[in-house]
Amino acid sequence: MITSNDDHALNQPQADICFLLRLSREVLVEILKRFEWKDVLAIRQCSRLLYSVSKERKVWVSILENDLDTRIPRPFYLPKPLAHCSSEDLEKRVVDWYLGWGRFGSSAGGMDSNTGPVLSDPTTNVDSNSNTHEKSVGSPGPDRKATATLNTGACAFDSDEIPVLCGPLLPLPTNQYFLYSDLEDGAVYYGDPRRPESGVSMLVPSPFPDLFPDLDGDEDIVTSVSIDVLGGAAGAEGLEVDNRERDLVLNLDESTFPTTFRLMVSNYVELDIDHPDVLLAEDNPTPLVIEVWEISSQVADDTGVVTGYSARRLRRLMDNKVATPVNGISILGKYVAYSESWNPVITIVDWTLADDDGPGGKDDDDIPKLGRMYVPAKQYSEHLFLLPNKKILTYSTMAGVHVWDWEGTCVTATSRYEVVESGVPSIPLWTCPERITDPLHPFAAPFVLRGCTRFILPFDDHVIGLSIQPGSGGDGEENARGCRITATNLVDRFPPSDLDTRGCWFGYSKGMSYQSDDGSYECVTYKWPRLGDDEEEGDEESHGDEELPQPPSVKVSPRHHFANFGISHVYYDDLQRQFLGLSETEDGKPAAGCVVMYG
């Protein structure tokens, strides 16, 4: 029997809805702007008026503004500049992020709209209902995972007019284009492997014709790139190069669709012993050339679609003390970092101090002027990442993962060899206790949420999440100076890929593993611990990660398996909702391309 109190409780939501319906549309918009995303989706089912109000663009702009950097970490991109994004664009992007893999294998995918799951065709970008693309989705029972079968296509840069490409090296912000390098001269190109008929365009020319005209073109060129996607995002001291970057911290438009960003390009020439003399120093014939470029997006005024990029060189540095090819490079704000193969010392340079007319590193007298710092790592690092608050993460299959306070504990010297010979003790802030066996995915990058830097560390069968919180006490796993560093087991059991870590991709709250035997992806979701636990941030507890309506795991299979395509690493484009199996150039042929699964 229902009591009067129960009857009142059951009737209260209906009474609240009736009250809302008496309000003006303008007032309803202001109310919904303060709702959470899932409450907006729920209330739209109550009436046609509330449905219409829930579709107002102001509502979804406000939700994005409230959640970005409180629940949604940076970097977080929109498909177009904010001014060009419709209400549907913003809703789709926000809801997709919260649903994770839910739209592929759970009824939660229906929350994306009122008509069920929505698919996106990569060639038209026109949404359509699932019956058009024949997507099959199995409802996950208690003992089996959700499944989905998606349309598949393959394409490659096979035109004779395209240079021999290396890559893709990195995706550009918004994922529409990827960076490649010319194996013959180190020039950097951009192109969309999903649309090879559009070809590739040169972004950064080779530095060698101007610097070393005596090179004959037979040399092996090693090119690396790094994009500054977090400069200014965390609001950390020392990141800003100028006032413009400081303003980006609060600029929703630029942070979600950067119209300008910085690109670091390093080129190294591996010379033969008997090569003609092009020495920059008596003891080293193989100079390293580092350039920092400002990249500007060319956006169509009517649609907001990126039509291309232009580049302006900001600085050029040369280091004639590099004896072996460069492994990892990184740029953040006004600093660049790089490491050599088989040399444990990592170099950090303030690139804004370099004189472009007299490149740093050409003479010994120029080295101190550049403010070079050296991290005395124990072994060479395959990957490194400059982090906010003057921290750097190094990743080595020989020495493991370390986090360093490079400003507070590392040394300044005129050369890295002085650091090695001096025997300066190597004292990182944090060391991962687990052994590393494989290199990181080439697209791995940190995230920033409310000033906390987070990084995904995949292992053979599990995944660890690393959190670096500045300005808090040292009561975490390590007594870190000026910050708290903690490691959390995000995924206890992760299905391995026969491509090792290159076959596994990890976003902030979801990851996937490629299975080459059938071309499928094993997809998992995971949750970070709430920021503020055991901290003096109790008021911000509600801004931590919440329970998301998504399945714990999903198996996504292709409608057609391209077994002979030669996938080298994988990537999930969350803006286009596409699984990408990327291939590299093989046997000197321009075969870079991808297998794309869309849904």
Tell me, letter by letter, the H, E, C secondary structure of 503-564. HEEECCCEEEEEECCCCEEEEEECCCCCCCCCCCCHHHHHHCCCCCCCCCEEEEEECCCCCC
pLDDT in tens, 290-334: 999 999 999 999 999 999 999 999 999 888 776 667 888 999 999
129-140 burial: b if 16+ Cβ within 10 Å, else e:
ebeebebebeeb
Structure confidence at residue 136 (pLDDT): 36
For the segment 397-425, the average pLDDT, to the nearest whole number, is 76
Query: Mapping DSSP to helix (H, G, I), strand (E, B) and coil, where does residue 191 land?
Result: strand
Q: Dihedral sign for Cα 195, 199, 201, 207, please.
A: positive
Query: Mapping DSSP to helix (H, G, I), strand (E, B) and coil, where does residue 317 land?
Result: strand
Residue 542 has pLDDT above 50, yes or no: no
What count of other Cβ atoms lies within 10 Å of the Cβ of residue 244? 12
Neighbouring-strand partners of residue 217: none
Residue 69 backbone zone (phi > 0: left; psi -120 to 50: alpha; other: beta): left
pLDDT in tens, 170-193: 999 999 999 999 988 899 999 999
Structure confidence at residue 416 (pLDDT): 66
Cβ-in-10-Å burial (0-12, 13-18, 19+) of 441 comes to buried
Residue 548 has pLDDT above 80, yes or no: no
Distance (Å, whole) CA 553 – CA 342: 40
What single-letter amino acid sits at 245?
E
Backbone angles phi, psi at 540, to 5 degrees: -100, 10
The confidence band for 477, taking pLDDT boundaries of 50, 70 and 90, is: very low
| Cβ neighbours for 112, distance < 8 A, ≥ 6 positions apart | 92, 95, 96, 99, 103, 118
The confidence band for 452, taking pLDDT boundaries of 50, 70 and 90, is: very high
DSSP state of 369: G
The confidence band for 556, taking pLDDT boundaries of 50, 70 and 90, is: very high
Pairing of strands 483-491, 345-350: unpaired
For the segment 370-398, the average pLDDT, to the nearest whole number, is 84
pLDDT in tens, 479-499: 446 789 999 999 988 888 888
319 close to 347: Cβ distance less than 8 angstroms: yes
For the segment 109-137, the average pLDDT, to the nearest whole number, is 34
Structure confidence at residue 272 (pLDDT): 54
For the segment 140-149, the average pLDDT, to the nearest whole number, is 65
Backbone angles phi, psi at 299, to 5 degrees: -115, 130
Distance (Å, whole) CA 588 – CA 591: 9
User: Which range (69-78, 125-134, 453-462) has the least confidence?
Assistant: 125-134
Query: What are the residue boundaries of the structural domains of the chain, listed by start?
Result: 20-99
pTM value? 0.84
The closest of 514, 98, 81 to 307, measured between CA atoms, is: 81
186 close to 291: Cβ distance less than 8 angstroms: no
Distance (Å, whole) CA 466 – CA 484: 11
Residue 37 has pLDDT above 80, yes or no: yes
Residue 249 has pLDDT above 70, yes or no: no
Tokens of residue 394, six digits: 């190094």
The closest of 403, 346, 414 to 380, measured between CA atoms, is: 346
Distance (Å, whole) CA 265 – CA 187: 9
Integer CA distances (angstroms), 467 to 173, 235, 447, 501, 568, in order? 23, 17, 10, 21, 29
Integer CA distances (angstroms), 288 to 164, 224, 341, 555, in order? 22, 11, 13, 44
Tokens 């490194």 found at: 384
506 close to 463: Cβ distance less than 8 angstroms: yes
User: Which range (35-49, 143-157, 543-557) has the least confidence?
Assistant: 543-557
Structure confidence at residue 417 (pLDDT): 66
What count of other Cβ atoms lies within 10 Å of the Cβ of residue 278? 17
Structure confidence at residue 537 (pLDDT): 41
